[in-house]
Amino acid sequence: MHLYNWRGCNKKGQVFTGKYWAENQLVVAEFVRGKHGYVIDIKRTEEFFPGRFHSVKHLTDKQKGLFFGRLGSLLTRGIPLLRGLELLEERSSQNIQRVCVMLQNDLERGLALSVAIRKQQREFSALAVKITEAGEASGQLAGLLGELSEFYLKQRATKRFVFNACLYPCIVLCSTFLTMGYFVCKVLPMFGKVYSALGIKGGQFLLTVIETVHMLKESPQLLWAFCLLILVVCVYTRKKLRKILFKMPIVKKYYDIFLEIRCCRLLSLLLTSGITLSHGLNLIEGTLPQGKLRAETHEIGEKVLLGYSLEEAATLHNGIFSRVSREFIAMGENGGNLDKMLSEAADILDGDFTAGLKDLKVLLEPALLLVLALLVGSGFCLLLSPVYDLLQKFTEI
């Protein structure tokens, strides 16, 4: 996807200019002809940072929430869809402007909004397409776009809270590694020289570390090669590393709760839009990572197709729904308001999720400081142990 500057004119000779995001010049030319009639010039904008550094950024959860929320609000006030996209283009960020221009182009060709959104696969998921289709079929497009906006904004809020909760531990760990690196590279060789001058023999581990640091300083290419090797291994095994991280005991617990919150909200939104329960479960299954959770959710969907209630199927298969969710599902199925009960279950789980992360953060902060103190103390003991042995010998004399 690239940005092009175009100039066109109509039959009266009026000249128009603008910018358009497209794969190639042919798409831009088609857009200009459809809007004004004749193409004068099309030029691709110069990229200051070519390649990946100038790649198009996709819509974030916040931008999706703002896009659908503002569009739904404009439709609620009686503004036509095409005019609403034009207003959004005028008052939004460049990323949303690009999407609005593409959607306008497709709508001017006579395509439905759901079809235009489906064409933007890099920006919108199957969820947005299904909700839009249901809104167009039921005549409740504005309301469902508002519900979709709320879903994206709540999902963004949850992710942001998790990020903020992990920020302090990451800063402490990075500070610890940087401190240890400076200690090993700068301080340790100085002590090695002092010990050599005084004739003090250090331990085997201390001598090995000092020799390794000295060798790396003399040939820094080895150090850079080692760092590059680690970086390449991390890049190529990032998916496996992520799976290992999410399988750790404490992390797995909160990751499963996060997935359950998202799936409850997603299923509630799908049911509100008029999508059947079995189809909604099928869509949810596609959002889950490969593994036991996806397999169990697939089994729940199969049981629902066979005539089981969602609560019965979820009880038989311990998939994405926990005991709290199953209780709300049972109340929703008995009361005929399953979508609302799923939304309430998601809110309760979100509150427990937030409180649990806060408690974990309170416990983790002193634990990390204790680990940092132990590492620093161990380093000093390692350095001063030869001096201590020498002083002990003097006292014996």
Query: What pLDDT, on the 0 to 100 scale, is given for residue 186?
Result: 75
Radius of gyration of the chain measured on its C-alpha atoms:
30
Q: How far apart are CA 3 and CA 5, in angstroms?
A: 7
What dotted CATH number matches 2-54? 3.10.20
Q: How far apart are CA 50 and CA 128, in angstroms?
A: 32
How does residue 354 score in pLDDT terms, banded at 50, 70 and 90? confident
283 versus 341: the higher-pLDDT residue is 341
Give the orientation angle of helix 126-138 with respect to helix 141-182, to 10 degrees: 160
Q: Edge-to-edge, what's the strand order for the sheet holding 38-44?
A: 15-22, 2-9, 38-44
Q: How far apart are CA 141 and CA 279, in angstroms?
A: 20
Q: How far apart are CA 296 and CA 321, in angstroms?
A: 10
Query: What pLDDT, on the 0 to 100 scale, is given for residue 4?
Result: 78
Query: What pLDDT, on the 0 to 100 scale, is given for residue 341?
Result: 93
Give me the percent of the chain exceeding a pLDDT of 90.
Answer: 6
Residues in contact with 73: Cβ distance below 8 Å, sequence separation at least 6, in sequence order: 142, 146
How does residue 390 score in pLDDT terms, banded at 50, 70 and 90? low
Q: Which long-range contacts (CB under 8 A, 24 or more apart) does 149-153 make?
A: 149/64, 149/65, 149/66, 149/67, 149/68, 149/69, 149/72, 150/65, 150/69, 151/65, 151/265, 151/266, 151/269, 152/61, 152/62, 152/64, 152/65, 152/68, 153/61, 153/62, 153/65, 153/69
Q: How far apart are CA 360 and CA 369, in angstroms?
A: 14
Average pLDDT, the chain: 81
**What pairs with residue 4 in β-bridges?**
20, 44
Contact (Cβ atoms closer than 8 angstroms) between residue 311 and residue 338: no
Task: Give the Å distances, CA to CA, from 52 to 2, 47, 57, 192.
Answer: 12, 11, 10, 46
Q: Could you say which architecture CATH assigns to the domain 61-153?
A: Up-down Bundle (1.20)
How would you classify the pairing of strands 38-44 and 2-9? antiparallel
3-state secondary structure of 7: strand
Q: What is the mean pLDDT of residues 289-300?
A: 82
Up-side HSE of residue 317: CA atoms within 13 Å toward CB?
A: 19
Q: How far apart are CA 132 and CA 116, in angstroms?
A: 10
Confidence check: pLDDT of 47 > 60: no
74 versus 195: the higher-pLDDT residue is 74
> How wide is the angle at C-alpha 186 spanned by C-alphas 209 and 376, nearest 5°?
70
Confidence check: pLDDT of 189 > 80: no
CA 185 to chain centre: 36
Confidence check: pLDDT of 387 > 70: no
Phi, psi values for residue 23, rounded to 5° = -75, -35
Residues in contact with 276: Cβ distance below 8 Å, sequence separation at least 6, in sequence order: none
Confidence check: pLDDT of 64 > 80: yes
Q: What is the mean pLDDT of residues 90-96?
A: 82
Up-side HSE of residue 224: CA atoms within 13 Å toward CB?
A: 4
Query: What pLDDT, on the 0 to 100 scale, is given for residue 50?
Result: 42
Q: What is the mean pLDDT of residues 66-86?
A: 90
In the chain, where does the domain assigned CATH 1.20.81.30 lie?
61-153
How does residue 52 score in pLDDT terms, banded at 50, 70 and 90? very low
Confidence check: pLDDT of 87 > 80: yes
End-to-end CA distance of the chain: 81
Query: What pLDDT, on the 0 to 100 scale, is given for residue 393?
Result: 61
Contact (Cβ atoms closer than 8 angstroms) between residue 132 and residue 109: no
375 versus 388: the higher-pLDDT residue is 375
Q: What is the mean pLDDT of residues 288-312?
A: 85
Give me the percent of the chain exceeding a pLDDT of 70.
Answer: 88
> Which range has the worst mean pLDDT, 6-10, 287-291, 329-333?
287-291
In the chain, where does the domain assigned CATH 3.10.20 lie?
2-54
How does residue 392 score in pLDDT terms, banded at 50, 70 and 90? low
Question: What does DSSP assign to residue 46?
Answer: P
206 versus 100: the higher-pLDDT residue is 100
Handedness of CA 286, 292, 296, 298 (dihedral sign): positive
- What b/e readout covers 146-162, taking b as 16+ CB neighbours within 10 angstroms? bbbbbbbbbbbebeeeb
